[in-house]
Amino acid sequence: MKLLILNGPNLNMLGMRDKDHYGTLTLEEIERIVRFKYPDEVFEFFQSNHEGELIDKIQGAASSSFDALIINPGGYAHTSVAIKDALTECKIPKVEVHLSNLSGRDDYRQVLLTASSCTGYVSGFKEKGYLAAVYLIREILGK
């Protein structure tokens, strides 16, 4: 199975950001954990602080032979109609991941524009959310 894992703005700062919300691991450490836990899967990881680059990756996912997509859109989850539209048009299974428990955060974080364009979402389990997302994708695809 070939999975694209996208990470949005400020996730390049993991390990330095608010550790209570985002955990202590860097994005690179999370990538290593995912690869270690699922050694038989093929992963492409991509992080960008730029909306258009994330949209380009989403739009190319199905035509690039990816079986599924996992996305942590960061703050774009609450603001980006353009990413939502790209996710809607991407016809492969998609799981959205949020490291922090959004239901316990600011009111504006309660609105997720992008999640409704995904098969589902995981929130509040820090780096374990990525592992849960891979597990869920495997279940969806019958792997």
Domain containing 41 — which CATH number?
3.40.50.9100
Q: What stretches of 12-115 show up as alpha helix (H) in DSSP?
A: 19-22, 27-37, 51-61, 81-89
Between CA 87 and CA 62 the distance in angstroms is 11
Which residue range is the domain that position 129 belongs to? 2-141
* Residues with active-site annotation: 22, 98
Output the pLDDT for position 107: 67
Our count of domains for the chain comes to 1
- In Å, how far are 35, 65, 72 from 115, measured between CA atoms? 24, 22, 10
Output the pLDDT for position 130: 98
pLDDT digits (tens, 9 = 90+) for 93-120: 999 999 987 776 666 666 789 999 999 9
